[in-house]
Amino acid sequence: MNQFENKVVWITGASSGIGEALLYQIVGMGATVIASSNREDDLKRVIDKCGEKRVNIHPVIFDLANTSSITSLVGKQIKKHGRIDYVINLGGISQRATIEETPIWLDRKIMEINYFGTIALSKAVLPFMIKQGSGHIVATSSISGRFGFPLRSAYSASKQAIHGFIETLHLENNKYNVRGSVIIPGRVQTNISKSALLADGSEHGKMDAGQEKGITPKTAAKTIIRGIRKNKREILVGRSELIMLYIRRYFPGIFFNIASKIETH
């Protein structure tokens, strides 16, 4: 079953990583894709790689840190396409700094991008999905969105907030045939650790050793598509590192022993 054929799918974070891989697969399945990123040149590169399928991709450039234009952008896309069937929120940013050294403005910046940027688009699209009687809103968390983790206080908090929002969205709107799902990635070979913010707001600039051994964005995208197709509330993406979710839940003492040994300096 190809449930994306002739559907309108909005993907944020579409200019790299999992978002890029998802765009290739979903547009290849016959969908119309609204592709968003704050990096216009990178997004153009991605769209150009789609060849003749590029006519089915509609770039919408905006920054998740500035949500003031989102309502207007959504209105324009609804007018153009008539509907939006899926929103897949993949844009976001990570962190590599201790709580002590992280200034409050950086906490706010990470929360603004990861949480408010995601919910602003979701809230703007939701009334149209309710009116059309169907829709699926998907947002990206992380395994550290299920537990605290050293050097990621603001990142972990923003991702845990996503769970509460999307679960509530699903519970309130399932009666309208509008669903909510959360993607929970472990280690995926993307630039998220390279672009993670240090205490001064600069980029970390290197890929974490564990992440280098992670699954590819293409494999992650396939897992996400399967999860959406099955209407899973939580879509786990990764390999052996996902066991930390079960250790934290069933053996919290072991989890805290493992996590507390991670070097923070």
Q: For 17-49, how does the pLDDT look when each residue is reduced to its tens digit (9 = 90+)?
A: 999 999 999 999 999 999 999 999 999 999 999
Burial of residue 46 (CB within 10 Å: 0-12, 13-18, 19+) is buried
Average pLDDT (87-95) is: 96
| 261: pLDDT strictly greater than 90 | no
- pLDDT recorded at residue 1: 60
- Does residue 159 carry a pLDDT above 60? yes
* pLDDT score at 265: 56
Distance CA 180, CA 232 (A): 9
**Set 24, 86, 115, 155: catalytic member:** 155
According to DSSP, residue 215 is labeled B
Phi, psi of 235 (to 5 degrees): -115, 105
DSSP 165: H
- pLDDT at residue 207 in the model: 87
Instruction: Give the tokens for residue 245.
Output: 């979710």
Tell me the pLDDT of the chain averaged across its residues: 96
Assess whether pLDDT exceeds 90 at residue 2. Answer: no
CA distance 92 to 76: 23
Cβ pair 121, 87 in contact under 8 A: yes
pLDDT of residue 122: 98
> How much is the average pLDDT of 190-212?
91
Separation between Cα atoms, residue 243 and residue 135, nearest integer Å: 31
The SS3 assignment for 180 reads strand
- Asked about 246 being catalytic, the answer comes back as no
Q: Where are the domains of the chain?
A: 8-259
For residue 126, what pLDDT is reported?
98
Bridge pairing between strands 86-89 and 8-11: parallel
Neighbouring residues of 190: CB distance < 8 A, sequence distance ≥ 6: 16, 17, 18, 211, 217
Mean pLDDT over 83-96 rounds to 97
**What is the per-residue pLDDT for 210?**
82
Percentage of the chain beyond pLDDT 90 is 93
Quickly name the fold that domain 8-259 has.
Answer: Rossmann fold (3.40.50)
